[in-house]
Amino acid sequence: MSTERYYTPVDRLLLQANTALRTLLPFSGQPYRPSPADTREDTPLAADEARHVAGLMRINHTGEVCAQALYQGQALTAKLPEVRAAMEQAAEEEIDHLVWCERRIRELGSRPSVLNPLFYGLSFGVGAVAGLISDKVSLGFVAATEDQVCKHLDEHLGQLPAEDSKSRAILEQMRVDEEHHATNALEAGGLRFPAPVKFGMTLLSKVMTKTTYRL
């Protein structure tokens, strides 16, 4: 007898609403792993450095909000149960990043982006559409998105003050996880997007980073 729990469409919508609230409401998420920053020394930063790092971490936090929405949208419309399960598992792992970034932003005396609800809604819609097209496209979109995230993380790691070991530890672990998600998506049969599509995604990501750095 199968032990897999059956969810009705209403159940899934309620689960989606719960996930959206946990993603968007302050301090509502619970990480599955402790933050890598917990074992690092908290070295005071100059005021301008703290503002810059907070802006970078705000970008990364919004990126995790988008990732949550993307995965949830894809899980809602995925054709195969194993693809849906993979999307839901990836979303759970991204919760760690979400919480780690928010805590670091607060430690730096700032707050997450006020545009997060907008980006959540847009990303959820994109994920749902990708899932409706096909699981292959959906998985390919994950891989391409995570590739963009890794590039942003590399850029941000290069901009962190040398003494900010807390933020560095968070971003380094996030990069490891994101690269793993991209690899898993391709190995599961994800479509490798052509260069023009990736270029378009890069332009859209620049809009997100420019607006959320300050807002």
- Closest alpha carbon to 181 in 151, 146, 205: 146
- d(C-alpha 61, C-alpha 120), whole Å: 12
Residue 26 resides in a domain:
no
24 lies in a domain?
A: no
In a domain, 141, yes or no: yes
Residue 146 counted as domain residue = yes
- In order along its 215 residues, the chain shows pLDDT tens digits of 444 556 666 666 666 666 666 676 666 667 788 999 999 988 889 999 999 999 999 999 998 888 888 877 877 776 677 766 766 677 777 788 989 999 999 999 999 999 999 888 888 888 888 778 888 887 888 888 888 888 889 999 999 999 999 999 999 999 998 888 888 888 878 778 777 767 777 777 788 888 998 88
- Is 97 known as a binding-site position? yes
Full domain range(s) for residue 205: 46-212
Whether the CB-CB separation of 215 and 62 falls below 8 Å is answered with no
Residue 94 known to bind ligand:
yes
State how many domains the chain has: 1
CATH code where residue 152 lies: 1.20.1260.10
Does the annotation list 64 as a binding residue? yes
pTM metric for this prediction = 0.83
Establish if 27 belongs to a structural domain.
no
Flag whether 178 is marked binding. yes
In a domain, 31, yes or no: no
Residue 208 lies in a domain: yes
Please check whether residue 164 lies inside any domain of the structure: yes
User: How far apart are alpha carbons 55 and 109 in whole angstroms?
Assistant: 11
